[in-house]
Amino acid sequence: MSTSYFEKEKIVTEDYYPYIKGFFKKFAGIYNIAALPLVTVRKKVIKMAAAGEGAEVLDIATGTGKQAFAFARNGYKVTGIDLSEDMLKIARRNNKYANLDLKEVDAACLPFEDSKFDVSCVSFALHDMPSAIRERVVGEMARVTKQGGVIVAADYALPKNGLVRYCAYRFIRWFESKYYPEFIDNNLHGLLKKAGIRIEAERKILFGAGVIIRGAKG
Ligand SMILES: C[S@@+](CC[C@H](N)C(=O)[O-])C[C@H]1O[C@@H](n2cnc3c(N)ncnc32)[C@H](O)[C@@H]1O
């Protein structure tokens, strides 16, 4: 008997939580070293968000908190959420900002009211989710962001040049979670648009192996 689309989605999402928590349990200790290439990306994300003074920012899947720290350093009121307690443990240990609150929360089911935040940001985490969860997470980001507020997504992309593209794909696939190939084959613009997010700007990063997209709600 063949498995229906919904049964397949259920199997994929049931496996996802233990898989991704286990993945980042192993990875947490070396994450800040592995993520060194993202050091220059943090400021670019802040610039793309272009949030006003005192804005309330939600950093989805904050991990060890590097992007959230960058927002907090700029004076915003920041909430960072993640489902990996191993990643959050490192974030909490390094957090020196009174304006940053870190919480253990599933981004697919945010415990925040509608339209709470001026900015919702997700950096280098959507590729760590199966498509059904990814869609839900982006939907949740749109829900908790104010009308006219900003949604920023930074993640992997594929460089234009064929050989560079092939090498980047093989290299990233080697160390990334099992959801990366499916993510990279999909359309991030389409995903954001489906959640009612209007794309306003895009900036390539990491020599074309990454992208920052700025969208607006409504
Ligand atoms: C590669 S790390 C990125 C961390 C951080 N955003 C950064 O830019 O360095 C991906 C993070 O996504 C988190 N994550 C994956 N699925 C999640 C979910 N459904 N809810 C919250 N966090 C999630 C993982 O636990 C992990 O910490």
d(CA 170, CA 196): 33
Asked whether 154 and 35 are in contact (CB, 8 A), the reply is no
Average pLDDT of the residues in 55-83: 98
Distance 125 CA to ligand 1 centre (A): 5
d(CA 96, CA 72): 9
Q: Using a 6 Å cutoff on CB, does residue 132 contact ligand 1?
A: no
Distance 91 CA to ligand 1 centre (A): 12
Q: Which domain holds residue 42?
A: 5-217
Distance 61 CA to ligand 1 centre (A): 4
Distance from the Cα of residue 50 to its chain's centroid: 18
What are 19-42's pLDDT values in tens digits?
A: 999 999 999 999 999 999 999 999
**Domain count across the chain:** 1
Q: What integer pLDDT is reported at residue 12 of this predicted model? A: 65
Task: Give the torsion through C-alpha atoms of 43, 45, 50, 53, to 10 deg.
Answer: -60
Q: What integer pLDDT is reported at residue 14 of this predicted model? A: 78
Is the pLDDT score of 7 beyond 70?
no
**Cβ within 8 Å of residue 7, ≥6 positions away:** none
More confident residue, 212 or 8: 212
Is the pLDDT score of 93 beyond 80?
yes
Which residue lies with its CA nearest to atom 14 of ligand 1? 61
More confident residue, 192 or 13: 192
pLDDT band at 108 (very low <50, low <70, confident <90, very high): very high
What are 166-209's pLDDT values in tens digits?
A: 999 999 999 999 999 999 988 999 999 999 999 999 999 999 99
d(CA 1, CA 186): 29
Identify the CATH number of the domain in which residue 131 sits: 3.40.50.150
pLDDT band at 46 (very low <50, low <70, confident <90, very high): very high
Which residue lies with its CA nearest to atom 23 of ligand 1? 61
- Mutation choice for ligand 1 from 57, 82, 178, 212, CB with most ligand atoms inside 8 A: 82
Distance 37 CA to ligand 1 centre (A): 17
Average pLDDT of the residues in 10-14: 69
Q: Using a 6 Å cutoff on CB, does residue 214 contact ligand 1?
A: no
Asked whether 131 and 180 are in contact (CB, 8 A), the reply is no
Percent of all residues in the chain with a pLDDT value above 70, rounded to a whole number: 94
Minimal CA–CA distance to 211: which of 82, 118, 124, 119?
A: 124
Average pLDDT of the residues in 49-67: 97
Asked whether 41 and 210 are in contact (CB, 8 A), the reply is yes
